[in-house]
Amino acid sequence: ERGGFHSVISATTNQTGQPPMTVGARLAPPPHLGGRVTNFEVELRRLQIGYAITAESLDSSTASTPGNLRNAEYAFQDGKLYTSKSANEPIPLPKLRSSELMLTQLPTDRPFRESLRFKEFLSAIDFYPPLQVTGRAPIRLPQPLTPATKPDAEGSNLFSVLYNLRISHPETYERLLALMRQAFPGLKRFEFPVVGAGQVTLAWYDESSKQPFYPGQLSEGTLRFLWLAAILLTPAQSSILLLDEPEVSLHPQLIRLLVALLQDYAMRSQVVVATHSSDLVRWLEPDEVIVADKEDGQTRFTRADTLDLAEWLAEYDLRDLWQMGHLGGRV
């Protein structure tokens, strides 16, 4: 919806002969655990219409043996597939789909163990943009009851996730309820009444009312915080969790609770948050912040703990330093 590959590869030229774009990823265990590092690299070249993958490799190595073809579990070059065990002889391949990763087309008669592990890792990455909470948004409407264990990006299975969490992980469900009561004093409990045709809704019971509140009556911030809490507390974790502006619609006090949730989640898995909220940054530590700046037409990322902030932090927090211009992250 943002223009696809052609809008990403380069803003400097419209010529099809421009250099290819190379994208890489490195999957490494924590340093104190040791173990092997997986390096993945793919080269994409622009075509007149669409793109083609012209090179790709995956290797498993240690820090002392950086990735190369000898360490590669597979390497795709010049339309041919090689492995570390096939020497210089390419492996026969069926008809290739040039717009799809070789990772998804590897022959099934060979043991590509690291590749399978890496593919599973990629498939477990979850991205959540700001939740849509308009009047007809899925989170406000009745939902089918399913075995879902993780909220989706639209919140269209949230009631199933909460219901299943209550049945299968009661301790985690009680923790979520306690968090919601801390955020919204007066909340008593949730119920999930059937409304017909196998669909359920959420009933919010509150001390302030004899009748429950339903999703269509709840505020945007309330729905978004409940959705975020379910994402961050559910046992079904992502390999990498990507959240875009999770602070949208949240009261500053809820943002503080959200940061505590994020920090707790980061102890179990990796989470990356894109934010423009100084209220969110306020509660973070410098080693939890990466600042993005535009310099000479390029994006530069700087870890906040590499900046000279020690004296400033004795009197100010990161929110203050950002607003004062000492942290970077300018418009």
The span from the CA of 68 to the CA of 58, in Å, is 9
Q: What pLDDT, on a 0 to 100 scale, did the predictor assign at position 62?
A: 61
Of 266, 259, 291, 261, nearest to 276 by C-alpha is 291
Q: What pLDDT, on a 0 to 100 scale, did the predictor assign at position 66?
A: 46
pLDDT for 160 beyond 70: yes
- Position 215, amino acid: P
Q: What pLDDT, on a 0 to 100 scale, did the predictor assign at position 297?
A: 80
Q: Look at 325 and 265; give whichever has higher pLDDT.
A: 265
Q: What pLDDT, on a 0 to 100 scale, did the predictor assign at position 152?
A: 98
The model's pLDDT over 77-124, given as tens digits with 9 standing for 90+, comes to 888 888 877 657 788 777 788 889 999 998 877 778 889 989 999 999
Q: Look at 173 and 34; give whichever has higher pLDDT.
A: 173
Q: Look at 100 and 70; give whichever has higher pLDDT.
A: 100
Q: Look at 9 and 230; give whichever has higher pLDDT.
A: 230
CA 285 to chain centre: 20
The span from the CA of 66 to the CA of 60, in Å, is 9
**pLDDT class of 73 with cuts at 50, 70, 90:** confident
pLDDT for 331 beyond 90: no
CA 57 to chain centre: 24
Classify 329 in phi/psi space as left (phi over 0), alpha (psi -120 to 50) or beta. Answer: left
- Position 8, amino acid: V
Of 261, 199, 197, nearest to 226 by C-alpha is 261
The model's pLDDT over 180-200, given as tens digits with 9 standing for 90+, comes to 999 999 999 999 999 988 899
Q: Which DSSP string corresponds to 272-330?
A: EEE---HHHHTTS-GGG-EEEEEETTEEEEEEGGGSS-HHHHTT--HHHHHHHTSS---
Q: What pLDDT, on a 0 to 100 scale, did the predictor assign at position 112?
A: 87
Give pTM, 2 decimals.
0.89
Q: What pLDDT, on a 0 to 100 scale, did the predictor assign at position 79?
A: 87
The winner for highest mean pLDDT among 46-55, 90-99, 196-205 is 196-205
Among 29-33, 198-202, 229-233, 241-245, the least confident range: 29-33
Please say whether the beta carbons of 74 and 112 come within 8 A. yes
- What are the C-alpha distances in Å from 197 to residues 142, 155, 157, 298? 10, 19, 16, 53
Q: Mean pLDDT of all residues in the chain? A: 89
Average pLDDT over residues 268-276: 95
Instruction: Judge residue 235's burial from the number of C-beta atoms within 10 Å of its C-beta, 0-12 exposed, 13-18 middle, 19 or more buried.
Output: exposed
Sorted by sequence, the CB contacts under 8 Å of residue 191 that are 6+ apart come out as: 202, 203, 205, 212
What is the total residue count of the chain? 331
**pLDDT class of 2 with cuts at 50, 70, 90:** low
pLDDT for 64 beyond 80: no
**pLDDT class of 11 with cuts at 50, 70, 90:** low
- What are the C-alpha distances in Å from 231 to residues 13, 113, 134, 177? 41, 30, 20, 14
**pLDDT class of 134 with cuts at 50, 70, 90:** very high
Q: What pLDDT, on a 0 to 100 scale, did the predictor assign at position 191?
A: 98
> Can you give the residue ranges of every domain in the chain?
4-123, 126-283
What is the CATH code of the structural domain delimited by 126-283? 3.40.50.300
